Amino acid sequence: MSRGTGSSSASFSPMWQPEPEWVALPGGSGTSTVGVWRTALGGRPVVVKRLGAPQPGDPGILSERAHVAYWRREADVLETGLVAATPGLRAAGASVEEDPDGVTIVRDWVEDAAASGLFLAVSIGRFAGAAIGHPTFLASDLMRDRLARVARKGGWTTLARTTVADVAEHLWTRREVMLMMLDGLPQVPQHGDPTALNLPGRDADEALAIDWGTLGWGPVGGDLGYLSLSSREDFEPLLDAYLLGLPAGLADRESVVLGARIVAVFTALSRAEWALNRVAAGEGALAAKYRHPAVAPHLRTLQRQFDHMEALLAL
């Protein structure tokens, strides 16, 4: 197979390029992701994902192996077979090829199984008991890294102009306290971005994940918090499903709730800040933009977190 893969006749110059017949797919917006394409290899449907190596002048965190932004984590995960047979979640079959400009991942196409949020919650609960060891390329502090990125942009400054300003300010000033609470919880394997889009497939009792770029160790319940933000189901049924999958003795219900609550609230606030900030500079009052199609979904998700916010304010 030639550099870049995708067809037996592919031929590339030293600078990597996709084949013209490949069909571009969504999901190419990551910091190091050049693009994602669907094609066929020997009649077998596959997806090609290209990761670009950091260049001079790029942020140093792209080369920090434990940082959430580490550029080639997904390739390392797949190349080592770390999640080829893990409980709850596992990877589809894939191959990895490296060249001076980056890494090309070719994985099996995964059909959308339309799995419910409850099935995914059970799956990530089971995955929390997986034996993945501690390779140096695993993300070690996802929530802290993500909030540090927000802090570099000034914090939740746009939310300060909304009706959640007081709550946002209180939680933002106490973010280090919340992060320390997460540090004190049992640390378990976590996917890091478990949405239905990233966990589309199903093979018997296992969910098939297609994006492992944020795999690492984190607080029990953390993945549940992320999943709850994009699931149709309410939090309580998702919690019960997660606990059903969680290995006995790993953590109690209270710890899971705390981990999920902090991750969900701080992630929802950060996403709402990001969405509002993108439209804030336009003409008109900020409140008039709450229904903007790029903003409204994030605000609806934030509204669903009000009970969790109230609970965190009491800590």
Examine the fold and report which residue of 108, 129, 152 is the final residue of a domain before the chain moves on. 108
Instruction: Count Cβ atoms within 10 A of the Cβ of residue 34 and give its class: 0-12 exposed, 13-18 middle, 19 or more buried.
Output: middle
Q: What is the pLDDT of residue 191?
A: 97
Domain with 186 in it = 117-313
Q: Over 70: is that where the pLDDT of 28 sits?
A: no
Q: What is the CATH number of the domain that holds 252?
A: 3.90.1200.10
55-97 pLDDT, tens digit per residue, is 999 999 999 999 999 999 999 999 999 999 999 999 999 999 9
- Classify residue 210: in a domain, yes or no: yes
Residue 276 inside a domain? The answer is yes
Q: Does residue 199 lie within any of the structural domains?
A: yes
pLDDT of 30:
61
Look at residues 89, 108, 95, 93 and name the one whose alpha carbon lies nearest to residue 199. Answer: 89
How far apart, in Å, are the Cα atoms of 240 and each of 90, 122, 202, 305? 22, 9, 20, 18
Regarding whether 159 and 219 lie in a shared domain, the answer is yes
Domain-located, residue 4: no
> Do 171 and 309 belong together in one domain?
yes
Chain centroid, CA 44 distance in Å: 27
Residue 14 placed within a domain: no
Asked if the model's pLDDT at residue 137 lies above 50, the reply is yes
Helix axes 175-183, 165-173, angle to 10 degrees: 50
In this prediction, residue 10 carries a pLDDT of 38
CA pair distance 288, 98, nearest whole angstrom: 48
Q: Are residues 271 and 126 in the same domain?
A: yes
Same domain, 280 and 179: yes
Q: d(Cα 54, Cα 248) in Å, to the nearest integer?
A: 42
Q: Write down the H helix ranges in the chain.
A: 73-80, 117-127, 142-152, 165-173, 175-183, 222-230, 235-245, 253-280, 296-303, 306-313
pLDDT at 12 > cutoff 90: no
211 and 302 inside one domain: yes
Q: Are residues 101 and 121 in the same domain?
A: no
SS3 50: strand
Total domain count for the chain? 2
Residues 275 and 294 in one domain: yes
Same domain as 157, residue 297: yes
Question: What global pTM score does this model have?
Answer: 0.91
Identify whether 127 is part of a domain: yes
Residue 238: C-alpha distances to residues 12, 203, 221, 224 (Å): 47, 20, 11, 8
Please state, for a pLDDT cut of 70, what percent of the chain lies above it. Answer: 94
- The pLDDT, as a whole number, for residue 254 is 98
Structure tokens at 209: 């994940």
Give the closest residue to 50 by CA, choosing from 93, 13, 18, 12.
Answer: 18
- Rounded CA separation 37/24 (Å): 4
Residues 140 and 272 in one domain: yes
Q: Over the chain, what is the mean pLDDT?
A: 92
Domain end position, chosen among 82, 108, 134: 108
Q: Which residues pair with 291 in a beta bridge?
A: none
Is residue 93 a part of any domain in this protein? yes
My answer on whether 159 and 91 are in the same domain is no
Give the pLDDT of residue 16. Answer: 85
- Would residue 162 count as lying in a domain? yes
CATH number at residue 99: 3.30.200
Alpha helices in 38-86 (DSSP H): 73-80
Judgement on whether residues 232 and 282 belong to the same structural domain of the protein: yes
Domain-terminating residue out of 89, 108, 127: 108
What pLDDT does residue 14 have? 62
Q: Tens digits of per-residue pLDDT, 149-177?
A: 999 999 999 999 999 999 999 999 999 99
Q: Are residues 289 and 165 in the same domain?
A: yes
Q: Binning pLDDT at 50, 70 and 90, where does residue 7 land?
A: very low
Joined together, the tokens standing for residue 90 give 């596992």
